[in-house]
Structure 1
């Protein structure tokens, strides 16, 4: 199964009402673990890269890693640039071969956001790529992008006008979700998803998935959240697994990096497979 478009993955999930894990990787080890977990679960997966990761590794190196690890892969996979307000980074990634981007202009007035998103959609189409859009900031700073101040939610009419004018492929509304670790179970506006989908059937991206309950996931996916973003959980698994492995090394005085890599990989694979089961994408590869 070659790399496929974001639209192919989310349109199928939206039509059949399951969610696809959209997981932010941080290096080659986590990329390999996410892909392996998807293959083990026979699940499509969306691999996401933050601007911070793109800049830390370098877009050409990161894309070369992606190409090498997805060659001959047996499940549908796609590469997505998450929360990017920088047009130059978007252009670089699209030119290299990213399959989709989230142009995050949510800090701008809706009219300017809409104008620039139209331009980004046109640019993406030249590469056969797709675009996720949003008009409200998802609360929380993630990899240096975002704000801890909850933004004002726009009306249904404003949301629909933005979706229709821009031609985006996925829409990410604010529904009380947040990036990072929730201090308590989030209170979510489930009906907002239903209202948008009823008025304009479009796959919805659910951000801030780390820490939501299974019941919340199931409800939102049934309403049209076809793309479910996971970043914080991956980071926690990566660092906690690393810490546990290093602690064992210190206790035994056995310092073997491949053992650490194997421990982390095992835990990232397990996380990915668990998400595929929870979101209903396990067994949905084509």
Structure 2
């Protein structure tokens, strides 16, 4: 089963109305940990990389890590490039082997966004890869991409024209969601998800998931949000686990990197596993346990 197309993972989730965690990893430890959680929970998983992570590690090294850690894994997993406005980075990742990309042209006028997205979809198809699209910026800055100014939402007719013209596999609408920390409890437009899905049935990507309530997650997933992005929660868990361990190490005067790695990995596995349970993807890949690295 191991690495499969994004559409294979999302078609089942969309049909059966469960959500698949799409988790942004930052290094080899977090990659191995989220894969390990997927095996533990018998859950499909979308591993995401930001443009910043691709540039800091290097696409070839990052992809080599991916292929090594997914060798023999027996749950469906896929590798996705998150929010990328740079066509050259999209081409690079598709060439190296990413399974899907989010071409983020939300800063462009809709017509130009649509024109370029058509080109990206054609390029991705040549590599057997999928494409996620969006026509409105998701509020907030994530890994240097985005804006804190909330974009105006397009009419349903505009969104549907974009979907029909481009043929994207996943759509990420703005529904009051935001990247990073919410300054107040988000007021979400649940009906917008239902309206899009009713008119054009395809998986919806939910961005800005870190900080939403369990009830909001469940409601949005039930309406068609099959891909649920998690980035801030992973980064915070990873850094806070490091901080807690290092404070204790300083107090004890004992410095043992392997113990640090085990402690941090445990917290990341717990986070990812809890998301799989919450989103309903746990047990959706009931196969014999493979290995995550």
Q: Which residue of 1 aligns with 2:43?
A: 43
Deviation at 1:182, TM superposition (A): 1.0
| Superposition map of 1:72-221 within 5 A | 72-221=72-221
Deviation at 1:120, TM superposition (A): 0.1
CA RMSD, Structure 1 to Structure 2 (Å): 0.5
Unaligned 5+ segments in structure 2 are 287-293
Deviation at 1:234, TM superposition (A): 0.1
* TM-score, with length taken from structure 1: 0.99
Cα separation, 2, equivalents of 1:183 and 1:254? 39
Cα separation, 2, equivalents of 1:98 and 1:192? 30
Q: Following superposition, which runs of at least 4 residues in structure 1 exceed 2 angstroms of deviation?
A: none
Deviation at 1:184, TM superposition (A): 1.9
Q: Which residue of 2 aligns with 1:11?
A: 11
Unaligned 5+ segments in structure 1 are none
Instruction: Give the length in aligned residue pairs.
Output: 286
Cα separation, 1, equivalents of 2:166 and 2:221? 24
* TM-score, with length taken from structure 2: 0.97
Q: Which residue of 1 aligns with 2:289?
A: none
Q: Deviations over 1:102-143 (max 9, x none)?
A: 000000000000000000000000010000000000000000
Q: Deviations over 1:208-265 (max 9, x none)?
A: 0000000000000000000000000000000000000001100100101111100110
Q: Deviations over 1:14-54 (max 9, x none)?
A: 00000000000000000000000111000000000000000
Deviation at 1:183, TM superposition (A): 2.0
Q: Deviations over 1:60-94 (max 9, x none)?
A: 00000000000010100000000000000000000
Deviation at 1:198, TM superposition (A): 0.3
Cα separation, 1, equivalents of 2:114 and 2:34? 33
**3-state SS, counterpart of residue 136 of structure 1:** coil
Cα separation, 1, equivalents of 2:254 and 2:282? 37
Deviation at 1:273, TM superposition (A): 0.5
Cα separation, 2, equivalents of 1:86 and 1:63? 19
**3-state SS, counterpart of residue 75 of structure 2:** coil
Deviation at 1:149, TM superposition (A): 0.3
